[in-house]
Each structure stands twice: as C-alpha cells, then as structure tokens.
Amino acid sequence: MHNPASPTDTLLPALARPAIQSLGGSLIREVANTGMGRADVLPFWFGESDQPTPQFIRDAAAQSLGSGETFYSQNLGRPYLREAIAQYLSGLHGREVSAQRIGAVASGDAGLMLTCQMLLSPGDRVVAVTPLWPNLLEMPRILGAQVERVPLVVRGGRWTLALDRLLDALTPGTRMLILNSPNNPTGWTIDEESLVAILAHCRRHGIWILSDDVYERLVYDPQLASAPSFLRHYAPGDRIISVNSCSKAWCMTGWRVGWMVVPEALEADLGKVIEYNFSCIFEPVQRAATVALQQGEAHVAQLRAGLVESRRLLVQALRAVPGVEVPDAGGAMYVFFRLAGFDDSLALAKHLVSEVGLGLAPGAAFGPEGEGWLRWCHAVSDGARLREGVERLARFVQRATA
C-alpha cells in the first residue's frame, strides 16, 4: 500500500532569517544563569542600582492606575510627558529643546532600535566606539548594516578616545556613528573638545550621530551637571538623535520608559515606527516618568554621590589585589578591570561564580576589545558587600596563583 509522505517532509526547516541566527546570545546572561537563585552569590553583573524606584515615583504610577488611566495614548507620548522632558533637557543643557522633537518610548533600548529602523538599510556602514553594550552593536546587524569598531585605549591609566582614529574611520558614505558616553562598560566620558570635533566632522560628511545618553547624569565630577552633550550644540538640520532613559539616574530599570530627541523633520516618521513597534506607553508609567523628571533632582544628586563613594571604595580595594589593573573613568556605574594572567573573560567570570560566589560581567560580552576584562557594577548602597566581593576575588586569585 502506498503511504503518502507527511506534509512536513517537503518543508524547509522553520528557522529565523540568517541575520538573526548569527546574533550572539548575551554573555552576561550566560554567566548570570549559572548563579541566579544561589543565595551564596554576590551579584554585580547587571547594570542597575540595588535601590528600588523612589517612593514618590511609584506613588504617581499607583495614583494613575487607581484612577483608571489604562487606555491607549498618543504614539509619541502624552503631551504632559513630552513637555516635561523638553523642560528638563532645556534646563539641563542650557539650550531650548522643543517638545515637538521629543518622542517618549518604551525604554532607551527601544529608542535605539527605533533609530536604527528609521535610518539604516542593508549594507549601510556604521561606526561605533567600543567596547560597548552589545545591544547597540547587534541592532544595526539585525537590519543588515555593517559595523566598524573603533576601540577606546588606556592612556596614562585612564580610558581614552583615540580621536584621530575615530575621525579617520568616519569616512564619506558612513551612515551613522554610535557613541555612548559615559560608556558602558568602561565609564569613559567624552570631553567637550572631542565632541565638538566629532560633530563638525559628521556635519561635513552628512553622518548621523546616535548618542546613547542613558548615563549622562552619572558623572563623577561634582562640577558637572551632566556629561558633555551633542544637544548643547544642536542646530536645525543637524543629524543628531539622542536616546535616553529613566532607568539609571532614577532607578527605574524595570519600568521600561525613555525618550528620543530627534530633528524636527523626523517627528512624523518617529510616530510611525512607534505605532508599528509598541503603539504607545502605558499611562501610569508616563505619569511616573513625568514626576521623576520634575521632582527627582534630589534623588539624582544622592545617587551620584553614592556612586562616587562606591567607586572610590571599589577601586581602592581592587588595586590592592595582586595583578589587578583598574583604569580611571569619568562616569556611569561600572569599574572595568582586568586580572593579569586571565585572558578568557567568560571562563573567568564563570569560575568566579562557581568557586567563590562572585557574579561579574565578562568583558567579552562587550566585544573583542573587552576580552580579558571584567565589568563590576558598583551601584551598591552597602559598602560591606563591595568589600566582601573584593575579598572573594582576592581569595580566588590566591588559589589560582598558589
């Protein structure tokens, strides 16, 4: 008797397209998955404060939810939130930023992807300053763009931008520059002179600048309200997009709310891509973000002061461990360091979890420039936990070199 073939016998494998298959998984998650749920592990692998969102921000969301604000809202965000963002940025940078240039988005991460969707086509050339948070490097690849990396260097014991090398890489025909300052993972923070030179160069060649500004308030210099910003130099017609988030400076990582500042000509197109991605942000979250921006300066100041102290404590302790190199940096919430004799950062990070219960992010997660390095998030309110973490690291080093 003839047995007809199953319909599935002639079907091709059910796979994602090649660009998606080629994406790497998160090495930070790979390490964290080996230790999450273990009570004996000290986790410093993720980039967030150990403090919950301030009560006044949570109260605003609760009040909104209690009053029934659970319906669709405008694609670009409620007018009250866009205006609050505009006022906040105008005051921070001393330059007017109109609400019409603002789009409220479902996280800074979403804002970065929306930027890539609006601007990048297959084959476009993108230049990124690295090492860098992996999402920023994979998003262009998802859309078929090609990414060239310009690595930071350590000079005089400090993370530094090789400006001439970057400008040489920004050739005519380059579509976009991706720059994150203060930088995740190194903490490198751009200086005003370099920023002006980069902007002038990109203007000459028509290169878009995607500035990931999520850490701009988290600078260690008490004389600075924020890191140097392209928004302070924006002129009509400039190809600058700034993406920011409430996640870091206001301890709102789980809320998934941020914003984009785009040229006037992109307002309508931004509304379109928001509609086709997530439509709008949940209104209680918009209420929370508005209150954070309007009433959160005391919290930001307190967080910054805590980060300065926790970094000082951590760096001092790490430099006492034999074989540890810790370059200086200007901001963010990380110490990026390396341990002499350990070149495989993923293997090292896994050994630290399994052998001494210390959870750090492997430098390889941030690209080949990060190999051999480890990232330690120091947004920790209890200095004793940091000291205990360094003691565990020292114990591991002593065993490994005995």
For the segment 60-65, the average pLDDT, to the nearest whole number, is: 98
- Nearest in space to 231 (alpha carbons), one of 263, 194, 271: 263
pLDDT of residue 4: 59
At residue 121, the 3 state secondary structure works out as coil
- Nearest in space to 115 (alpha carbons), one of 178, 169, 170, 172: 178
Of the two residues 274 and 400, the one the predictor is more confident about is 274
Cβ contacts of 56-60, under 8 Å, gap ≥ 24:
56/291, 56/295, 57/250, 57/252, 57/288, 57/291, 57/292, 57/296, 58/288, 60/284, 60/287, 60/288, 60/290, 60/291
For tokens 């921006």, name the residue: 293
Tens of pLDDT along 205-259? 999 999 999 999 999 999 999 999 999 999 999 999 999 999 999 999 999 999 9
**What is the per-residue burial (b if ≥16 Cβ within 10 Å, else e) of 68-78?**
ebeeebbbbbb
Tens of pLDDT along 318-335? 999 999 999 999 999 999
pTM, two decimals, is: 0.94
Question: Within a 10 A sphere around the Cβ of 201, how many other Cβ atoms?
Answer: 16
For the segment 290-299, the average pLDDT, to the nearest whole number, is: 98
pLDDT of residue 5: 61
> Which pair of tokens denotes residue 160?
């530094």
Q: How confident is the model at residue 157 (pLDDT cuts 50, 70, 90)?
A: very high
Per DSSP, the residues of 38-73 read -TT-EE--SSS-SSPPPHHHHHHHHHHHHTT--S--
Alpha carbons 133 and 130: distance in angstroms, whole number: 8
Provide the pairing of β-strand 176-180 with 208-212: parallel
Of 37-46, 124-133, 250-259, 303-312, the least confident? 37-46
Alpha carbons 396 and 254: distance in angstroms, whole number: 33
Tens of pLDDT along 97-126? 999 999 999 999 999 999 999 999 999 999
Tens of pLDDT along 65-97? 999 999 999 999 999 999 999 999 999 999 999
Q: How many DSSP H helices and E strands does the chain contain?
A: 13, 15
Provide the pairing of β-strand 153-155 with 258-261: unpaired
pLDDT at residue 130 is higher than 70: yes
pLDDT of residue 247: 97
> Which pair of tokens denotes residue 35?
């230790």
